[in-house]
Structure 1
């Protein structure tokens, strides 16, 4: 029974996991009530700020009141030894808070589930919960999926009603399944998991009756159900996007995805705490072989350049100094910066010259590193936010940049092809090479075989077609195809 469930899990959605448990009469460890498969809504592994692997389980089990909230957590079995997982958050319905939407288009977030977690020992060989085998990190990650901007957009202010029930219009489940089939060692999501902010109008068939708002039902629909196969395939590095800031889906971010221990003061439940909760210090995840990825929270990235008196300037400059310290670690020869908002890239505009993607962050970084922008040693940057693919290297020596915000949300228009010579992503930059496309998909990042160093990046469509292969070594990024890539 255990072997059968472990094989079948990789192809199952969340609803069918519970259904299968019923069909097979599968219980938990020795009949433990909290470990019954039917209660497990999602089980996954994320990488924490100290490079630790953290197993998390979202469960609908509600114990008897006399048992206490901790009893909601299932048993986790690590290398044959079971123990009770720790409670991260209990079910809750925080009071309505100010959101990015008009109050009449908002509602309180309801979380009828508990989140349990367990830090896994380094070197663990096998981990399971309710007979579900969880993925474990590898000492040297060789195959990494990079994707972002995956949810289905329901936003009244933009009159944007994506057809969430149409796998062509919103192909995230297909993207996740195609990526999982490539057997990655790690998944890096570059932010914006949640997009169903407002109620779909009753006369829009493609999203009619979709869950909306910021509670569990929407998180399940936008992330945990469609991504089930990819969550089962490998541990994830979770990067925070602007859709996970406190006035949007921040409450779910801190319950389900944030890599730090949960804190009520940083839960986004109270708007009075937003000035703290909207920012997190950068941290590094080691990839082995002298490579690391430096994770940066840019959830409150603005649209215009900052002035010297703006409080965000000092805050973010402090964090970029932390990035510099992380990049200067002994033995780290390959530093990859990852955040949501592109910095040395383009923002496409329909019918017009593309804009520089990020005057806000550029104004912060030039005060520290002039027109190098990044601190020394950061030789590659990965982003989402812009809903296309861009791979850019520079004649002027700046950090090579890749944008991969194409996993599900409405795509942006394509960049002009060819780009006009005066189009630059940031002051002081001159483009050497650029490859780009505007179709749904993801990246596969693979460690290059010796004697080469660095990484290769394959840009895939949702159906698994390779559009381009880009080779990175140091600050250089060279793709086998230039300009616009046709799916």
Structure 2
């Protein structure tokens, strides 16, 4: 794996107020014939890349440091996705970049404020019909708008972008008329329209969730968000890990979508173990971002914790690099932050960005046994939508959990592998 360093100059996206946040992700629709354009930047295994989704027949004009740059076609339109997807590699030393004259977000050399959000799509699945039409019931747009106002340097989406898998009955006013399935209308409704302000606010790291695996929304994931090159009709069941330099911290991005929660997958556990062992080659302090947490809590039943990923627990036993300080995940639809009595890295779960919340997650985690791990200090937030930020301090990172209106819900201090949360 190549250690990719972030370079670029931090720019303010707020020179003209909140409207400037929409500069890089815009919906141009005043006239009937106007184009639909969404643009953002994201990290891949090859570094920083600009991506565009457009209804036009050709890629838009791009510029890097004042010079014209030619965007490449990433994915051509088809029946399910009648939109062109374009991409452009951005050099690590680029000072500015734009699409159609609109500035793109570039990262600073050292990320000072990192925003965590995940599990954001509206859940239309089996008997679960979330009220996508009502913002109080599906508040991702509100969360994204509020988060964008906080001017993060980087957004890490910890996975599960799209949840609309089945049709909503016309009689259900909460979700009537909702698109569903793996197509452009669904991705637009679940990701691009509600998330457009946040997409423009900072570069993104997209973590693949199990709702983006090869059995669910693979086509949209591969077109829009995958770090891999796009090939029509193919799907990688296991995307390779890659690294992003946060400035003194190495962020490892892992695809663990196939890690079975309830039982050990004996075929895949050795693969995940090998990936964790390989991370030990990284010299910098290490954060690991992956959709599914190793140890977390969905509920505590009869005194026994439920929520450990059996495959990942088996794979990582004795294999977590000594320099790994923090795990960033989603998957469980709540917010949790915990550190352990052993030498495991601290764990943050930020799966409360919009989809239907898990109802029985505990709020008090101190002392909870999670298989062979024991929480030393930890907190949870039950039944609260929101997101979190990590802000760099002199000798620590300040973790803050926010509600969708920006209200502070919890705050913790991360020092190395240990979390100390305020009451």
TM-superposed CA distance for 1:89, in Å, is: 0.7
Relative to structure 1, the CA distance from residue 480 to residue 420 in structure 2 (aligned partners, 3 Å threshold; closer, same or farther) is closer
TM-superposed CA distance for 1:414, in Å, is: 3.8
8 Å CA contact 2:24, 2:99 repeated in 1: no
SS in 2 for 1:117: strand
Identify the residue that residue 104 of structure 1 maps to in structure 2. none
1:383 to 329, 340, 356: 329
Q: How does 1:57-206 map to 2 (within 5 A)?
A: 57-62=52-57, 72-93=58-79, 110-156=80-126, 159-206=127-174
Identify the residue that residue 477 of structure 1 maps to in structure 2. 419
Q: Deviations over 1:332-369 (max 9, x none)?
A: 1x211110001121122689854032112111122xx1
TM-superposed CA distance for 1:321, in Å, is: 2.5
TM-superposed CA distance for 1:40, in Å, is: 3.9
1:49 to 31, 45, 52: 45
- Mean Cα deviation higher: 196-205 or 124-133: 124-133
TM-score by length of 1: 0.79
Distance 2:24 2:405 in 1: 18
Relative to structure 1, the CA distance from residue 48 to residue 253 in structure 2 (aligned partners, 3 Å threshold; closer, same or farther) is same
Matched, 1:285 2:244: yes
8 Å CA contact 1:296, 1:337 repeated in 2: yes
More helix per residue = 1
Distance 1:154 1:351 in 2: 31
1:425 to 362, 370, 377: 370
Distance 1:361 1:316 in 2: 7
Distance 2:419 2:135 in 1: 33
Identify the residue that residue 339 of structure 2 maps to in structure 1. 393
More strand per residue = 2
Identify the residue that residue 103 of structure 1 maps to in structure 2. none
Distance 2:187 2:273 in 1: 32
Identify the residue that residue 406 of structure 2 maps to in structure 1. 464
Identify the residue that residue 19 of structure 1 maps to in structure 2. 29
8 Å CA contact 2:160, 2:210 repeated in 1: yes
Q: Which runs of 4+ in 1 moved over 4 A?
A: 3-7, 11-14, 349-353, 417-421
SS in 2 for 1:311: coil
TM-superposed CA distance for 1:140, in Å, is: 0.7
SS in 1 for 2:28: helix
TM-superposed CA distance for 1:316, in Å, is: 2.1
Distance 2:329 2:174 in 1: 29
Let me know the Cα RMSD of the aligned residues. Answer: 2.4
Matched, 1:447 2:398: no
SS in 1 for 2:370: coil
Relative to structure 1, the CA distance from residue 477 to residue 5 in structure 2 (aligned partners, 3 Å threshold; closer, same or farther) is closer
TM-score by length of 2: 0.91
SS in 1 for 2:261: coil
Distance 1:262 1:405 in 2: 27
Q: How does 1:318-467 map to 2 (within 5 A)?
A: 318-325=274-281, 328-329=282-283, 332=284, 334-348=285-299, 353-366=304-317, 369=318, 374-416=320-362, 418=364, 423-427=368-372, 429-438=373-382, 439-449=384-394, 452=395, 454-467=396-409
- Structure 1: which 5+ residue stretches go unaligned? 24-35, 63-71, 94-109, 269-276, 482-487
Identify the residue that residue 256 of structure 2 maps to in structure 1. 298
Relative to structure 1, the CA distance from residue 256 to residue 351 in structure 2 (aligned partners, 3 Å threshold; closer, same or farther) is farther
SS in 2 for 1:232: helix
